[in-house]
Chain A
Amino acid sequence: MLFKISLSGVKSRWKDYLVLFSGMMITTAIFYMFEAISTNDKFTTSSPVGQNAKFVFIFGSILLAIITLVYVFYANNFLMSMRKHDYGLFMMLGAKSKVISKLIILETLVIGLASTFVGIILGVGFTKGLSGLLSSQIHVSLTNFSAFYMPAVWATLILFLVLFVIAGLVNARTFTKTSALNLLRSNQESDWKDPKKRTLFVQAVGGLVLLAIGYYAMYDINHLQLLAIGIGLITIVLGTYFVFNSFFVMILEAVQRSNTSYKGLNNFTISQLKFRIRDYTKILSVVSLLFALALGAITVGIGFQRMVPMMAAGNNAYAVGLTNPSPKMKSLVGDIDGKAQVTYQQKVDPGSKSVYYRASQFEAQPFKYAHFTNQAQLKSKIDNASLTQLKDRASTAYAGLNNLQAPLTRNLRIRLVSDTTFNRINAKANTLLLVRVNDMDAAATTLSKITNLQTRQYGKKVSEGLGVGGAYETYQLLKGVFGSLEFMGIFLGIAFLAMLASCLMFKILSGAASDKARFEMLNKIGARKSVLNRSIAVQILGLFILPAVLGIIDVAFGLQMFIKANLLHGAYQTFGWSVLGFSILYLIYYGITVMIYSKIVVPKTKVEK
């Protein structure tokens, strides 16, 4: 009987349940998406990053599981905030707490399992979509990767099952320990106490100082080494907490004291925000730190990838060197938006272990070689090679030319000789076509076709182990390594962001029920609906934007760590774009939260014309 009543309770609030259900579904899908990569040993170990990636993923899995736990906890709070009154009523009617416990656990499990199943299906779809999109966008080929992966399904299923059992037990405990009367009067008043001014000030200053120390530690990583990460972790976590608990509250109090607070619902809005920030300090700090982690993962991931052309450019002035190119290869070269092409004649004499070139050709069309002027900052320069340089086996120019020759001739000595000597050599004359490109990323597709043709021409035996040479080869190699890093960074970042934004959303929504009375009163004393809606939008914006701002600042300083350690270059460009993309995703969550919240708390006027 009670089950029937319980079911009818769910039916009557199916819209709220739909929100909860879809939220859980998406969380499951995200977790699955992540597990699809991390549990897939074949994929992680076959990718050039190899074992290092495994570590990143184990770390990521644990973090994600923790956020999921927090998420499930908040989502359940939201669920229970909707059911409090009903359960209170059952208890009032004489239902035993054992029966209520059973009912709660059952309800939590049914919703949990249903959302997990649908979520996994959705997750397979997400994984397929996102991996397809990413691999086509960043030109990474994902071998051994499949969207449906059984171990990932198991990992997701088991984790969520455990989480929901825990959540159900916790819910049942809280409920049976609360008296029926308290459940019925669940719109209890909050116990807001104005924080003491001095404590507030000390905490605010302390928080800012801690953050400053953390930021400095990351900036000074070269000097502090591993200690920088330790210091950063501790000071930034504590600093973030104090900044939320006090600094933001202090700023809001200052605003409240100004005359603007006398306008409309400003005072109410600010004081609500102040109250919420203090009430939500922990979750806001976690959201801020996770925001930083997610944004950092994406920025660093993309940042590495962006360095690839720079690294390739310093490696060789020419993208490819083609020995005796076929007409098809030549026509493909013609398609490239190239800087320059140059052709040299060569004769290979295995007897004297030499490759001969006409010196006159190198005088007429100097060979260009690339060299790093600042290896740490990946700054490189291209110069014309002199004949002396090209004769010196130890020179960068010599190595550059050597690398552009056909693989089997690379262990032979390069010799520049006069035209007469060259003509006398009894060997077939080859042409070596060297191609320079303006934009490696733009030319990548055509270059790939050309090198494939060249490899086929060299023959399988020759090309095994040895590539076709040139900057493009370096580019391709690095792209493989960093591309998968980027893929993981973006994947991880999006998964984190979606999860933390959902957490924040449900934490805010679970407080909506107790806000209802306040908004009803405001409506009665004459606050227009538009004014109420604006107040909600501002309050929730505050809760969303503050952790994001702090997270962005964290990353802005955190990137210094990678820059100073010479791991990343041009990071701030990537950072800007990542922030933009991130903000859009985040804003969508904000919009949804405002919409649902308003629907719950803003009273429906019976007189809407």
Chain B
Amino acid sequence: MTTEIVRTKDLHKIYDQNGPKPYEALKGITFSVQQGEFVGIMGASGSGKTTLLNIMATLDQPTSGSVEIDGKDVTNLTANQMSDFRSEKLGFIFQDFNLLETLTAQENIALPLSLQNKKPGETKQAVEAATKKLGIDDLLSKYPTQLSGGQKQRVAAARALVANPSIIFGDEPTGALDSTNARELLDTLTNINQQGVSILLVTHDPFSASFCKRILFIKDGKIGDEIDADGKSRNEFYQQILEKLGTFEQ
């Protein structure tokens, strides 16, 4: 039996609610992500996908509606509780890697565990496990400036993975990579996903999206459509996404 890892219910977000020009970025979004799913969220700029991601990632609060992650309602936490929740339950991969240049790859990967004040021995073990999964054991002592873009992003992926999060959020993770490195990262994410980690990818790139198992299309703050890979090959799914985008954007 599969369990829901993310569940949003009638999410609304209105910016500048009491101001002269209130703007409704999300207009009632309801969806869920099952344990072990690889879900993509696609949409044009201004469609509300970043707002949605920020709310799910506890970086922002909805005006109304609720978000449950791993069975916990995250919309009513205090700032500190949210920070702790992020470090324990969520993993992040950003477009521009966001590695700290003054720390080695290993130290970068260990950061989320340090924030949880895990014992050094435990941290070392977890870092080893995560890097083995991603095949980057040989990069551990290097500084980010000594790494290629693809390597950096894999280190970032290891950092997202190291604390055994309930779900990994990817915000255009291939945005700053060339096609070879992008492909490698997406393969890596697929690999991680096959090992049971849930992933939610926000992207506007159909190629990246084609690695997902299910895609939600957002337009003007609402979920406009949804497609499922449903046993299709990645190529077929890619074609389907392109078709969908063609009609959806109009």
Contact = CB atoms under 8 A, between A and B. Distances in A.
A272 B79 contact: no
Given A525-B159, A528-B80, A259 B120 contact: yes
Nearest to A529: B79
Contact of A609 (B79, B111, B115): B79
Q: Interface centre among A264, A275, A526, by most B CB within 10 Å?
A: A526
Interface in B79-126: 79-80, 82-88, 90, 92, 94, 96, 98, 100-103, 107, 110-115, 117-120, 123
Interface in A583-609: 605-609
B250 interface: no
B183 to A, nearest CB: 24
Interface stretch (A115-123, A175-183, A184-192, A296-304): A184-192
Nearest to A273: B102
B194 interface: no
B236 interface: no
A521 B84 contact: no
Contacts of A305: none
Contact of A529 (B83, B110, B117): B83
A606 B84 contact: no
Contact of A528 (B61, B83, B110, B119): B83
A526 B88 contact: yes
A190 B101 contact: yes
Contacts of A271: 100, 102-103, 107
A189 B97 CA distance: 11
A259 B115 CA distance: 14
B58 interface: yes
B6 interface: no
B98 A521 contact: yes
B124 to A, nearest CB: 9
B110 A267 contact: yes
A525 B103 contact: no
Contacts of B87: 525-527
Contacts of A190: 101-102
A266 B79 CA distance: 21
B195 interface: no
B42 interface: no
B90 A609 contact: no
A339 interface: no
Contacts of A523: 59, 83
Interface in A499-541: 517-518, 521-531
A259 B121 CA distance: 9
A273 to B, nearest CB: 9
A531 B110 contact: no
Contacts of A265: 114-115
A89 B82 CA distance: 36
B73 interface: no
A606 B61 contact: yes
Interface string B42-69: 0000000000000001111100000000
Interface string B149-191: 0000000000100000000000000000000000000000000
Interface of B: 57-61, 77-80, 82-88, 90, 92, 94, 96, 98, 100-103, 107, 110-115, 117-120, 123, 143-145, 159
Interface of A: 189-194, 259, 261-268, 271-272, 274-275, 517-518, 521-531, 605-609
6 contacts: A193-B143, A525-B111, A526-B115, A530-B80, A531-B115, A605-B59
Top 7 closest A-B pairs, CB basis? Answer: A526-B87, A526-B86, A271-B102, A521-B98, A528-B83, A262-B120, A275-B102
